[in-house]
Amino acid sequence: MKLLGLPLLLVLLAVTPPGCQGIIIPRCQLVRILRQHGLEGFVGERVADWVCLAKHESSYNTGAINRNKDGSSDYGIFQINSKYWCYNGRTPGASHGCRIHCSKLLDNNITDDIKCAKLIAQRARGLTPWVAWRNHCRGKDLRPYVKGC
Ligand SMILES: *[C@@H]1O[C@H](CO)[C@@H](O)[C@H](O)[C@H]1NC(C)=O
């Protein structure tokens, strides 16, 4: 039953439209949450970098899912990848470094997303694993992302 149950659950998760879960976190609320979790100065990056990253990866949508060409998918506000970091049961050759089911990265509580993102950033010694950060945030004036918060 255990072996039968898990694939069925994954099928059900896969056919659940992404819009059914997740919320858009308002920018200043995200700033507050990220500060609470010690991201200011973490691996030498600013909270503004993380907000910019979230803006360009998911538009602050905690329920965002996107499929990659290699068959893996990216989950949640930080678009965490199923090839290396979270487990979705259908990504070949996956090593899920954050030891978490990808679907947990789609709910309204981003505590686990932050924990996993910190591990990714720590391993990379920065935010370079995020293409959107490299393309839209790195080296830019990011003050608007924390302005008024
Ligand atoms: C969010 O999840 C964490 C565990 O991942 C838990 O400790 C915390 O209480 C949760 N926050 C809310 C508001 O439910």
Over residues 73-85, the pLDDT tens digits come to 999 999 999 999 9
Q: Is 107 in the pocket of ligand 1 (CB under 6 A)?
A: no
CA distances for 127 relative to 6, 96, 116, angstroms: 33, 18, 13
Going by CATH, does the domain composed of 22-145 fall within 1.10.530.10? yes
pLDDT digits (tens, 9 = 90+) for 109-128: 999 999 999 999 999 999 99
Q: Is 109 in the pocket of ligand 1 (CB under 6 A)?
A: yes
Report the separation in Å between the CA atom of 37 and the middle of ligand 1, taken as the mean of its atom positions. 12
- Among 66, 131, 69, which residue's Cα sits nearest to residue 105? 66
DSSP letter at 104 equals G
pTM (predicted TM-score): 0.85
For residue 110, the CA-to-ligand 1 centroid distance in Å is: 8
Q: What is the mean pLDDT of the chain?
A: 90
- Pick the residue with more confidence: 133 or 10? 133
Q: Whose CA is nearest to atom 12 of ligand 1?
A: 109
pLDDT at 11 over 50: no
Q: How far is CA 65 from CA 5, 38, 74, 99, 127, in A?
A: 23, 26, 6, 18, 20
Q: Where in the sequence numbering do the catalytic residues fall? A: 57, 74
User: pLDDT, tens digit, for every residue of 41-94?
Assistant: 999 999 999 999 999 999 999 999 999 999 999 999 999 999 999 999 998 888
Nearest CA among 129, 100, 127 for reference residue 113: 100
